[in-house]
A and B are shown apart, each in its own frame.
Chain A
Amino acid sequence: MKFNSPKELDVFDQGRRSQSARRVISLSAASCGRASGALEVAAAFESGIKELGLADQVELKLTGCHGFCQLEPDIIIFPERYFYPNVKTTEVKRILQETGVNGRFIPELGFKDDQTGKITARLEELPFYQGQVRWLIDRQLDLDPLSLDDYLNHGGFQALKTVLSQLTPDEVIAEITVSSLRGRGGAGFSTGLKWQLARQVAAQPKYLICNGDEGDPGAYMDRGILESNPYSVLEGMMIGGLAVGAIRGFVYVRQEYPLAIDRLEKAIETLHQAGLLGEKILGTDFSFDLELVRGAGAFVSGEETALISSVEGRRANPRPRPPFPVVSGLWGKPTVINNVETWANVPLIIQKGASWFSKTGTEKSKGTKIFSLVGQVKYSGLVEVPLGITLDEIVNKIGGGARKGEKIKAIQIGGPSGGCLPADLFNLQVDYESLPRAGAIMGSGGLIALDNDTCLVNLALYFLKFAREESCGQCAPCRIGTQQMVEILEKITSGQGELADLDLLEKIGWTMQQASLCGLGRTAPNPVLTALRYFRPEFEEHIVEKKCRALVCPKLIAYVIDEDQCSGCQLCLKACPYGAIEIGSSGLPQINQPACQTCGICFSVCPEEFQAIGKVGGLKKDQVSLLTSGSN
């Protein structure tokens, strides 16, 4: 189907959506849904519908992400909005018959709170969804990601229509500026201002880039949007193209996201066929094209100047700024680079208006932000929250607190460029100003909850190893600094550290922040510096007492077998790869401490009902030997 004028887009807006009398079963089938068996469940639904002859009563829709990723595959049944988590193929027929046909909710299959036993029927009543403001995620709950019809039925391309038929480019930029939309990639630069700057430059042609190189480990908001609602991102770019005066846009997606790449390729192709991309779009004077670029696996590509090099077909080496990309970007031409989530917000602002958008948020940070709330919280997934919400609300209300009953002791926000904040700072507001004051950053949206089983020194080492591996190596502060910091942290986690090392870490970190070429090197020390600022006692314990309180650092812990709990099943003895477990004088297995490599295999094979193997910390090997032999 081809559209020849903006007016033709209206056909879908009226009517079609309400026309469906069928009940819609919306199954989450993005990457994490598929990893949890969504496609098998989909097949079961399809054959069930056929077998029971329900094709005119029930429609199955494979959608993208519903946000509550931990309970996938999940289904939402419309119009009632009933929610069933962890759907199994064996439950499908019953769901079809009772809920699909009769609209009856099945309590046994609903979401049940472990502690209170309370069962929740509807999506919005789930504790996880309380307190969220889901402008972007809500649109994808019953959207077939690849269907242009469905996108249009959801009000898609109405914003483009408005822009083409009613607004001048300057008016579009003014609207985005007034909305106070800021870059969702983390830096928080004003989107309207960025567009304005690029528009003002005389050089032609101009380009756009969508930065979908979501490299922060522990963050997947952009994957969620790209897989679930690809057209919204493309529509945002088309509006941006018109406003800035660009002729071409590039959607750069990291290669680790094959499903997102596949969907974008197909979506772009569909838009070409529909006359929504290419020459004289919808019969107007606006010509614009989009192209997908598949990343090749380099974290530094997410840095905007490195991203430009990568699109140009070069190594993703960053270069100094200024000149900024809005002046000299792709092939030296003015280039606007925005993050996936930023682009996805653009149609929303045009459709609903800047004043509507800016009602939500704080004085300087408006709208919503999606976070990937993961780690040791009870409920994890993608959460969309109004800016200005406190960390406490996200972690303890939406996330439900710690999954193992203890308290969340810290959160890591902003990935390898961000920092760790302790629980007593959880009243901090999530916005572009408050978080940097505390030494962290808003970042692209990674939010990882940590409990007492996480060692902050080990985590700092993890991030620095990551930065060392991903450093492009052009500038010395980053190349050498990350290596030095890794060596010092390894020394500390293996019990060889000195107190002077902590000052040295701070000095190296400061130098990297000041002198590195690009954002990667300038922010790489943040995880260490914030950990030192808020969790210094943990570092000092590793150094002075040779103790890892979280019992994580392998060289600072020992495994012991509690003979009172041990059943003598000898699973540990058989599993130990180092032959370090032998039968003691009591006839039960015993760990020969000098031979033990603290790999933890025995700990993991010991059956849950016994839990006879424990970890101890703060002791030297010979002390542990004494401890265990003394108990005989």
Chain B
Amino acid sequence: MKSNKDSHDQKLTIADNLLKAIPADRKNLIFFLHQLQDQLGYFPEELVLKAARYFSVSPAEIFGLLTFYSAFKLNQSCAHHIKVCQGTACHVRGSEAIGNEFSRLLGIEPGSYDPGKSIALETVNCLGCCAIGPVVVVDGQYQARVNLKDVEKIAARLTSLEKSDEANEI
């Protein structure tokens, strides 16, 4: 499945199909970026020019949007995503240490991913679940009241999942 999405033609087709339903009006530009990213997991650089032509703006403007807004990613997405909330309520309950511990265990900085592009670590400003912090979101699943021991378990689980994924691919 992954390899299908990777092919250039496939990406172009997805973009074309989306654009069919979106009028070429500037106000729909961010909507399009979201839609494409929802399908591909990231916004491939090779489609910047296409978007620019369709909405009649310069490619620099598209890059501007993609880099200004934190929702958009220019890099291919990973199989697993960890989001560590760093909102104030989580912060006063120790979320900084939780982010650091993920970094240490997985050997990656927040905002990056491991060399095999399997696990991405991200810190986010606030997920709005402040009464049950510290909050961590693993592959879309919210986890409440996370402590350093939970971090170890989560990291171990994802690392072993990744190994079994690799084994399956072989």
Q: Which residues of chain A have a CB within 8 Å of any CB of chain B? A: 31-32, 34-36, 69-70, 72, 214-220, 223, 255-257, 293-299, 310-316, 372, 374-376, 380-381, 412, 415, 446, 448, 450, 453-454, 459, 462-463, 466, 470, 472, 577, 599-601, 604-605
Task: Assess whether B48 is interfacial by the CB under 8 Å rule.
Answer: no
Task: Determine whether the beta carbon of B128 is less than 8 Å from that of A257.
Answer: yes
**Ordered nearest first, which 4 A-B pairs have the shortest CB separation?**
A35-B142, A220-B128, A218-B88, A296-B69
Q: B3-11, B74-82, B131-139, B158-166: which lies at the A interface? A: B131-139
Q: Contact between A374 and B147 (Cβ–Cβ < 8 Å)?
A: no
Q: A296-B34, A315-B65 are in contact. Are A604 and B131 (CB under 8 A)?
A: no
Q: Given A70-B131, A380-B131, verify A313-B26 contact (CB < 8 Å).
A: yes
| Contact A466 to B125, CB < 8 A, known contacts A315-B65, A380-B130 | yes
- Residues of A with C-beta under 8 A to B144: 32, 35-36
Are B86 and A217 in contact (CB-based, < 8 A)?
yes
* Complex CA distance for A191 and B87, rounded to whole angstroms: 29
Q: Does B92 contact A (CB under 8 A)?
A: yes
B62 CB to closest chain A CB (Å) equals: 11
Would A448 and B29 count as touching, CB distance under 8 A?
A: no
- Answer whether residue B149 sits at the interface, using C-beta atoms and an 8 A cutoff: yes
- B26, A294: Cβ atoms closer than 8 Å: no
A-B contact pairs, 13 of them (CB 8 A): A31-B129, A32-B129, A32-B131, A217-B88, A220-B129, A296-B34, A313-B30, A380-B130, A381-B131, A412-B88, A415-B88, A448-B89, A448-B92
The CB with the most chain B CB atoms within 10 A, among A256, A462, A470, is that of A256
Q: Are A604 and B71 in contact (CB under 8 A)?
A: no
CA–CA, A477 to B36, complex, Å? 36
B118 is an interface residue with CB less than 8 A from chain A: no
Report A-chain residues with C-beta under 8 Å of the C-beta of B108.
none
Residues of A within 8 A of B61 (CB): 314
How far apart sit A446 and B71, CA to CA, in the bound complex (Å)? Answer: 23
Residue of B nearest to A292 (CB): B31
CA distance A209 to B92 in the complex (A): 33
- Inside 8 A of A72's CB, which chain B residues have their CB? 132
Interface residues of B in 22-53 (CB under 8 A from A): 25-31, 33-34
Asked whether B27 lies within 8 Å of A312 as measured between CB atoms, the reply is: yes
B168 at the interface (CB under 8 A from A): no
- What does DSSP make chain B's interface, helix, strand, loop or mixed? helix
Return B134 CB to nearest CB of chain A, in Å.
12
Partner of A374, one of B25, B55, B69, B131: B131
Q: A462 to chain B: which residues have CB within 8 Å? A: 88, 91
Which chain B residues lie closer than 8 Å to A381 at the CB level? 131
Partner of A219, one of B70, B92, B130: B130
In the complex, A454 Cα to B142 Cα: how many Å? 25
A171 to B20, CA, bound (A): 45
Whether A448 pairs with B88 at a CB distance below 8 angstroms is yes
Known A217-B88, A459-B92; judge A605-B148 contact (CB<8 A): yes
Contact of B97 among A70, A223, A599 (CB under 8 A): A599
**Contact: A296 with B71, CB < 8 Å?**
yes
Complex-state Cα separation, A470 to B68, whole angstroms: 10
Q: How distant is A252 from chain B, measured CB to nearest CB, in Å?
A: 11
B125-A35 in contact (CB<8A) = no
* Cβ-neighbour of B129 out of A35, A294, A297 (below 8 A): A35
Q: Which residues of A contact B133 (CB under 8 A)?
A: 374
Given the complex of chains A and B, what is the CA–CA distance between A450 and B89 in angstroms? 9
CB distance from B42 to the nearest CB of A (A): 14
Whether A375 lies near B92 (C-beta < 8 A) is yes
Shortest Cβ gap from A550 to chain B (Å): 10
Chain A residues near B132: list those with CB within 8 A: 32, 35-36, 69-70, 72
Measured CB to CB, the nearest residue on chain B to A382 is B131
B31 touches A604 (CB 8 A): no
B143 and A35 contacting across the interface, CB-CB below 8 Å: yes
Min Cβ gap A436→B in Å is: 20
Name the residue of chain A whose CB is nearest to the CB of B127. A256
A217 touches B149 (CB 8 A): no
List of B residues within 8 angstroms of A256 by Cβ? 124-128
Bound-complex Cα distance A218 to B124 (A): 12
Which residues of chain A are within 8 angstroms of B131 by Cβ–Cβ distance?
32, 69-70, 372, 374, 380-381
Residues of A within 8 Å of B55, CB to CB, are 313
User: With contacts A217-B87, A256-B124, A604-B97 known, what are 8 further pairs, Cβ within 8 A?
Assistant: A255-B34, A294-B34, A298-B69, A313-B26, A314-B61, A372-B130, A415-B88, A459-B88
Which chain B positions have C-beta within 8 A of A412? 88
Residues of B within 8 A of A415 (CB): 88
Residues of B within 8 A of A448 (CB): 88-89, 92, 130
